[in-house]
Structure 1
């Protein structure tokens, strides 16, 4: 079996190359996966855009309707970091549909990965931090509502705390939110996840992996999940523009290997999303994001 990988051309909303958000990485990431033959003969699994009903499971109807109409208030657009036009709205719906599809494929095959996703700063009432819709929160809510899973663990290794996810699932016993992040990074106000592990600036591979071991054990014991959403953000890398940690490519690969391996050894399905990663060198950044998919192929 080949690793199921989800992609859609709409993941790339075609921003100007000088924009702070490196939108073109989504297209280049997919190209690299094809070039390096990590995609099977049948190609990518292609998602449909998430329908309004799905989005409203994790976001207010007022906010969802504003996004779909490309009528998001300016203050919210400033919090997100870019205007929400029709192309961005489609991109956000499609990336969310991609995470739902990756989750369904993970339940079927044990493991699947999106080539987008991890927009964890969007809360119920609005977007923030380059996040329009919280794709993982929507996907978890869809699967719970449909009875496909009973309990979910969100295992978030992006360098920024998953504040939107924490807010959406606060007081929701069937979803356990876990975030390993840089203590002094965005967001300034960090609403509590079920388990937050805040790391000091400059944390490198060895110290990070030591913390990861305990986080895996605690998260599994407390969540007892039927499905894990793994946010494999590469912004903990030492060279990341918006990170404050100091992992290497090898450290990121070992992180992903330990997370995926831990849950697959326990027969828990894993849906991987790529999370954050920021660099002006799109080639290097896109290849760094493929670490998730390369490591995941070791487990299929």
Structure 2
């Protein structure tokens, strides 16, 4: 399985800043140590033309040329630096690369990404460019060069915060279905309308969360029955965890792993390739967040193995592949 990285481009932040930028390096190092079967590849930067598939030219040039205003930087939560701009481009590039790889092999990942608060015209909430929006539009454009009909995309956003930027970008685009399951009382406090929003109460625990997830996947499948997705983006945020500083939910580590397992199996059984992004994770103990996200990558690798066995066997029934895998 391929996983794409962008942490070599360091985001310089003031001392005491609450964004845990070190987690991306720590996650890469942990995957390299514990999951050597996952191929780690530095991501290329997204081009200006690629960014323009989801963002307004003024915003792209402001970020790349360093002309963002003080108010815009406050809304993002980062000061502008050349490294911030380059890292943002490469985080988008990582999701683009993961999406291409997923279409080829079934599963791939970005060890960062999930920057779902970025709108077409601005950044917000630690998000500069919207990696999933850019990658979705680019995959659809590339798909049309090879296929007679368009590519339906499904976004499964399980970060604890609503994917407001993604919902806004695709608000009038029926070719992208946005599902966001998030804390009702958490940021952003003014939410956009996704195609399917599932709001959860503070303190939500494993059983309630997983029941809501199962119901959301059933509803999404019903609403997409006429045009099933050919690609999914899964934002596997670690911030619903009980140890997260910003999450306000109470999922256990086992509950989060079961969440990932259910999503990945649901997609695999329906033959929907998936590109994962790590999205949020702000644990009181950053090593706990890294361990949670490493588990997500391990479960993705396990799903990728099943895809590979099915493809080598020429299996047209994904359920048979799952049964043979012993899962």
What is the deviation of 1:5?
1.2
Q: Secondary structure at the residue paired with 2:271?
A: coil
Q: Is the CA contact 1:14–1:24 (under 8 Å) kept in the aligned structure 2?
A: no
Which of the numbers 257, 271, 289 marks the counterpart of 2:293?
289
Which of the numbers 8, 20, 35 marks the counterpart of 1:37?
35
RMSD of aligned Cα (Å): 1.4
Partners in 1 of 2:37 and 2:122 — Cα distance?
A: 35
Give a deviation string over 1:54-92, Cα, whole Å, max 9, x none.
111111000000000122111111111111211010110
Of 255-264 and 76-85, deviating more is 76-85
Structure 1 unmatched ranges of 5 or more: none
What is the deviation of 1:294?
1.2
Aligned partner of 2:18 in structure 1 is 20
Q: Is the CA contact 1:252–1:291 (under 8 Å) kept in the aligned structure 2?
A: no
Aligned partner of 2:248 in structure 1 is 244
What is the deviation of 1:44?
1.2
Partners in 2 of 1:246 and 1:11 — Cα distance?
A: 33
Partners in 2 of 1:295 and 1:25 — Cα distance?
A: 19
State which structure, 1 or 2, has the greater radius of gyration over its C-alpha atoms: 2
Count of residue correspondences: 296
Q: Secondary structure at the residue paired with 1:147?
A: helix
Q: Is the CA contact 2:91–2:112 (under 8 Å) kept in the aligned structure 1?
A: yes
Aligned partner of 1:46 in structure 2 is 42
What is the deviation of 1:280?
4.4
What is the deviation of 1:38?
3.9
Aligned partner of 2:113 in structure 1 is 117
Residues 39, 88 of structure 1: CA spacing in aligned structure 2 closer, same or farther, 3 A cutoff? farther
Partners in 1 of 2:10 and 2:256 — Cα distance?
A: 24
Q: Secondary structure at the residue paired with 1:155?
A: strand
Residues 280, 208 of structure 1: CA spacing in aligned structure 2 closer, same or farther, 3 A cutoff? closer
Of 10-19 and 114-123, deviating more is 10-19
Q: Is the CA contact 2:52–2:60 (under 8 Å) kept in the aligned structure 1?
A: yes
What is the deviation of 1:12?
3.8
- Within the alignment, does 1:133 sit opposite 2:129 as a pair? yes
Aligned partner of 1:181 in structure 2 is 182
Q: How does 1:240-279 map to 2 (within 5 A)?
A: 240-279=244-283
- Within the alignment, does 1:65 sit opposite 2:61 as a pair? yes
Partners in 2 of 1:283 and 1:16 — Cα distance?
A: 21
Aligned partner of 2:195 in structure 1 is 194
Q: Is the CA contact 2:13–2:78 (under 8 Å) kept in the aligned structure 1?
A: no
Partners in 2 of 1:132 and 1:281 — Cα distance?
A: 25
What is the deviation of 1:297?
1.8
Aligned partner of 1:90 in structure 2 is 86
Aligned partner of 2:223 in structure 1 is 222
Residues 38, 254 of structure 1: CA spacing in aligned structure 2 closer, same or farther, 3 A cutoff? farther
- Structure with higher RCO (Cα < 8 A, 6+ apart): 1
After TM superposition, the score normalised by the length of structure 1 is 0.95
What is the deviation of 1:37?
2.8
After TM superposition, the score normalised by the length of structure 2 is 0.87
Q: Secondary structure at the residue paired with 1:284?
A: helix
Residues 166, 130 of structure 1: CA spacing in aligned structure 2 closer, same or farther, 3 A cutoff? same
Aligned partner of 1:7 in structure 2 is 5
Partners in 1 of 2:134 and 2:46 — Cα distance?
A: 9
Partners in 1 of 2:240 and 2:160 — Cα distance?
A: 5
